[in-house]
A = this chain, B = another copy of it.
């Protein structure tokens, strides 16, 4: 069996960002912390931590920390009358646009019981964190369950192309957007192909003039400020459309992105409640037609 005292030391060093602070938190000496981790690394034959400032967990180290968290979740469900200082953590990967829109409602009161670490990841990157066991749950566009995991379809998020009226006028796009591909095009990052797919649907070439903005709210702001056009979730654009700062370029043309919730089959009560809450909230915010 794994040495859970060593795992606890490992998790503390990462959480508190240092051997000294981990030692304080666990009421141990720094050398005890250091030794436990070294022994575990010796047994496993791989480094679990990069000794830099602040210390970083290796991929395997992260996997072990997630495993420790799962065990703590399960322990907590036993409701044993034990005194414990340790708070339970849950690392959750989530795509940017869900976090910027509806997800907080699903999270609700779970934050009272456990510490939540949200990790923003692209629609396709989140599932890799899940596969490597680095997170306890993942909200992403991948529909296939990972080994030992379960997957729930949440619905689809509809993206539409938006820009400001000022932008459309300046680029002579109000009457015809045949040359939209020549206008400044907002993209989230180098993996974001939504705008390319939209232009393709309109039968146009790839965008020439790109503006990269890796922030969900920044993206909406740039569109409203006339810096470019971009694909935005309709639920995120709704208010801006209502007040007239964004215009839907092509109401007939949109891109639907399916979203899924990945979780582990064996997880604690808190994660099961979160799953139910995510499914329920998603049904209110996401499109359910297939």
Interface string of A179-217 (1 = CB under 8 A from B): 000001000001000000000000000001111111111
Say which residue of B54, B108, B119, B216 sits within 8 Å of A227 (CB atoms). B108
Q: A122 vs B119: C-alpha distance in the bound complex, in angstroms?
A: 15
Knowing A107-B225, A227-B104, A227-B107, the reply to whether A115 touches B215 (Cβ < 8 A) is no
Among residues 112 to 158 in chain A, which have CB atoms less than 8 Å away from a CB atom of chain B?
112, 115-120
What per-residue 1/0 map shows which CB atoms of A216-231 lie under 8 Å from chain B? Answer: 1110011011111000
A120 to chain B, nearest CB (A): 5
Complex contacts, A190 vs chain B, CB 8 Å: 17, 54
Residues of B within 8 A of A119 (CB): 214
Inter-chain CA distance A210–B116, complex, in Å, is 7
Q: Are A209 and B111 in contact (CB under 8 A)?
A: yes
One of A35-43, A62-70, A94-102, A262-270 contacting the partner: A94-102
- Is A118 touching B225 in the complex (CB atoms < 8 A)? no
Copies of this protein in the complex: 2
> Could you say which of B87, B111, B218, B225 contacts A228, with CB atoms under 8 Å apart?
B111
Given A190-B54, A227-B107 in contact, is the A112-B209 Cβ separation under 8 Å?
Answer: yes
Contact string against B for A residues 29-73, beta-carbon threshold 8 Å, 1 for contact and 0 otherwise: 000000000000000000000000010000000000000000000
Q: Given A99-B213, A214-B118, A214-B120, do A226 and B54 touch, yes or no (CB 8 Å)?
A: no
Minimum Cβ distance to chain B for residue A240 (Å): 12
Q: Are B99 and A212 in contact (CB under 8 A)?
A: no
Interface of A (DSSP majority class): mixed
Output the nearest chain B residue to A109 by Cβ-Cβ distance. B226
Q: Quick one: which of B17, B104, B108, B213 contacts A218, CB cutoff 8 A?
A: B104
Least CB separation from A92: chain B residue: B212
CB pairs A–B below 8 angstroms (15 shown): A54-B190, A96-B215, A99-B217, A100-B218, A103-B221, A104-B221, A104-B225, A108-B226, A111-B228, A116-B212, A118-B214, A119-B214, A120-B218, A215-B216, A217-B217
Additional A-B contact list (7), CB under 8 Å, known A99-B221, A111-B209: A99-B218, A104-B221, A105-B225, A107-B225, A112-B209, A119-B214, A120-B214
- Chain A to chain B: the 10 pairs with minimum beta-carbon distance, closest first: A217-B217, A99-B218, A104-B221, A104-B225, A100-B217, A111-B184, A117-B212, A104-B222, A111-B227, A99-B215
Interface residues of chain A, those whose CB is within 8 Å of chain B, are: 17, 54, 87, 96, 99-101, 103-105, 107-109, 111-112, 115-120, 170, 184, 190, 208-218, 221-222, 224-228
